[in-house]
Structure 1
Amino acid sequence: MEELLQVANLVANKLNSRFEGTPEQRWSLQALKLQEEAGEVAQAVIGALGVNPNKGHSHTWDHVRAEACDTALTALVLLHMMGGDPEWFLAEHLRGIKAKAEGWEATA
């Protein structure tokens, strides 16, 4: 997990150094990039299931995993771009999600 956060910070710094717009513009474009990556996950799932009649089985489940990794990294890049303490913010947010998930009832 530490390496993931380091890579996200590196990518965020490189992207921030190349963009001359406002911080909000950078964040907005990165949010759009995140949506693009999520779409690539969906495309890979469709390909893995073979439900597109024009393409058939065009992807594997490993493609889905790779696109999910790209999506996760893109989200963390956005978090790093926005500044503050992204690792603290992520940890706090995950604590809240964990508390909710622990309260879910198991289904059979």
Structure 2
Amino acid sequence: MKDTWTTIARLATRLEEHSALPREQRILLQLLKIQEEAGEVAEAVIGAMGQNPRKGHSHTWDEVEAEICDVIVTGMVALMRMNPEAPDVFAQHVERIRERDLGESARISSR
């Protein structure tokens, strides 16, 4: 996962260097990008199910998966652009979810 976060950091840096907008606007636009990518997931699902009469079966489930990955990467980039400690923030959040939803903690078992 560390290599993933290295790539995410590089993408975030590239985007930061590309824009002259104030920081708040850059973050806002990155957050809106998540919604744009989520819309592409919806379009791909509709296409994979053939539910657009004009387009028919225009997408595959592999394309849906790729669009979901785009949403995840875009969200990770947004988090990195908001907080350079994004890997730790994310890991702590996943731990809270694990404790809340699975009743598990990060404690190492003594078995």
TM over 0.5: yes
Q: Give 1:100 deviation, angstroms.
A: 2.2
Paired residues, number:
103
The within-5 A match list for 1:11-90 is 11-90=11-90
Higher RCO (CA < 8 A, seq sep 6+): 1
TM-score, with length taken from structure 2: 0.87
CA RMSD in angstroms, aligned pairs only:
1.1
Percent same amino acid among aligned pairs? 46
Q: Give 1:9 deviation, angstroms.
A: 0.8
Unmatched runs of 5 consecutive residues or more in structure 2? 104-111
Structure 1 ranges of 4+ moved more than 4 A: none
Query: Matched residues in 2 for 1:3 and 1:57: separation?
Result: 36
Unmatched runs of 5 consecutive residues or more in structure 1? 104-108
Match for 2:38: what amino acid? A
TM-score, with length taken from structure 1: 0.89
Query: Matched residues in 2 for 1:37 and 1:95: separation?
Result: 26
Residue equivalent to 1:5: 5
